[in-house]
Amino acid sequence: MITLPRQGRRAVAASLWLVSLLLGAPGGNAWAQTKTRTAPAKATPDPTGKPVDVCLGADFALVLDDRGTLWSWGGSLGNSDGQLGLGDDNELDFLAGTSGVFSHFAATRIASGFASVACGPKRAAALTPDGELWAWGQGLIGNGNAELLGAQHRPARIGKGFARVSLGEDFTLAIKTDGSLWAWGNNASGQLGDGTRQARALPVKIGDGYRRISAGYNHAAAIRDDGSLWTWGNNRVGQLGVGEPTAPGSDVPLRVGPGYAEVSVGAGYSVAVTAAGELMAWGSSRHGFGRGVEEDRSNTPVKIGDGFVNVVTDNSHALGLQRDGTVLEWGWRTQGERHLMPAPMGGDFKRIAVQDYGSAGIKNDQTLWLWGGRNWQRLADLGRYPDVFDRTEMFVHEPQRIAFPLAARKPPP
């Protein structure tokens, strides 16, 4: 047996890795391997990029800039699931600050060539401009990996022809450009909507004629081309919005009603915006339903407000975006603080995101803002920002501007 020096072994390993990357891994399924491709190219520094999309995970964040570059940072709870998409288990610090504006000093570019991004608690996905879907992180991401608790550390190509994607707790929904709805992942509560309780490692078609989707904790929702809203999955607390709760729920879509434009679902809670701008909510919420009642609940949609164009929710709180760019927040913000009624968080926003007590937004001037959070660990030196951070919970009380492009340097001492 020939033993190479360490440098030689590294060179051979690197060469083999490059060859495998260029040739693509062999596959046994036509869906995942219709066209072997490498991931979008590694990005080069681009100081002129501005944020256009943002999503949050349980302890990480992804930001897409207007040059198609995708940025990743976080992992304060550990990056063993590969949710940062960087090919390893390394964690990244979150934020550092100078002059009252926060700068990321450990954010890393995942790749370039993307058009949108979506996050789950421990997973992420991104779409290219031509509709290729890539995913990474924990579990059944759609590439044929049958390990529910497995991990994909780099973006893996799922398929082509996609227009939208939504990631739930451990399952995924996607709409293709032809309006067909597809689902994959865990299915113990019927959250895939395919009429079974069977987990799916590869996308399975649910139906046609869809334009909006939302994957939650163990239930899901979608809006069809005619504006009708449909829900499926767990219904233990009335989160499907179709009447009395039922423990088994439904493993096929059930019609809620007509006239909807946007929808978002979390854990036992659902919110939607009608075509007329009415904000509707249903299910159960221990943290503030949005109408001023603690431990609130409704088995059918109830009106919360008017003048909305979008809404997002997670397992604890929600954000609503109004026509004039005002963001309203309700629910549990962090331990000991919540809003039972929608409270204004600022104006001039055009995009919003939530996950696990954290919130983020992009304003019309393409500035990035972040607030809330239970897991924003390793933020800035708290001694410099006593009015911004709670020293115990690392909680950002009000929206704070995040310097962008993301600075790859630490602040001065």
Residue by residue, DSSP assigns 24-84 as ----S-TTTTSS--PPSPPP---TT--EEEEEE-SSEEEEEETTS-EEEEE-TT--TT-TT
Are the CB atoms for 140 and 184 separated by under 8 Å?
yes
Joined tokens for residue 282: 């249903």
> Which range has the worst mean pLDDT, 39-43, 289-293, 393-397?
39-43
Query: Distance between CA 166 and CA 350 in Å, rounded?
Result: 19
Nearest Cα residue to 187 out of 242, 136, 135, 232: 232
Highest mean predicted confidence (pLDDT) among 38-47, 310-319, 392-401: 310-319
Nearest Cα residue to 317 out of 373, 377, 401: 373
Query: Tens of pLDDT along 289-299?
Result: 888 888 888 99
pLDDT at 11 exceeding the cut of 50: no
Are the CB atoms for 82 and 130 separated by under 8 Å?
no
Nearest Cα residue to 133 out of 150, 151, 116, 154: 116
Main-chain phi, psi angles of 15, to 5 degrees: -65, -45
pLDDT at 83 exceeding the cut of 90: no
What would the mean pLDDT of 13-31 be, rounded to a whole number? 31
Helix, strand, coil fractions of the chain, as percent rounded to 5: 5, 45, 50
pLDDT at 254 exceeding the cut of 60: yes
Give yes or no for a cis peptide into 155 (omega within 30° of 0): no
Query: Distance between CA 329 and CA 320 in Å, rounded?
Result: 6
What would the mean pLDDT of 218-237 be, rounded to a whole number? 97
Query: Distance between CA 63 and CA 70 in Å, rounded?
Result: 6
Q: Which residue has 């031509």 as its token pair?
A: 130
Element (H or E) spanning 260, and its range? strand 260-265
Joined tokens for residue 7: 């440098």
Query: Distance between CA 268 and CA 253 in Å, rounded?
Result: 16
Query: Distance between CA 128 and CA 269 in Å, rounded?
Result: 31
Pairing of strands 210-215, 219-224: antiparallel
Per-residue model confidence (pLDDT) at position 8: 43
Neighbours of 6 (CB within 10 A): 7
Q: Which long-range contacts (CB under 8 A, 24 or more apart) does 184-190 make?
A: 184/140, 184/142, 185/139, 185/140, 185/141, 185/142, 186/139, 186/140, 186/148, 187/251, 188/218, 189/218, 189/219, 189/233, 189/234, 189/249, 190/232, 190/233, 190/234, 190/248, 190/249, 190/250, 190/251, 190/252
pLDDT at 252 exceeding the cut of 90: yes
pLDDT at 203 exceeding the cut of 50: yes
pLDDT band at 78 (very low <50, low <70, confident <90, very high): low
Residue 411 CB-half CA count within 13 A = 18
Contacts of 304 (CB under 8 A, 6+ apart): 271, 279, 280, 281, 289, 290, 291, 320, 342
What proportion of the chain, given as a percentage, has pLDDT over 90?
Answer: 54
Query: Distance between CA 2 and CA 302 in Å, rounded?
Result: 73
Greater confidence (244 vs 263) lies with 263
Per-residue model confidence (pLDDT) at position 15: 38
Nearest Cα residue to 113 out of 97, 134, 82: 134
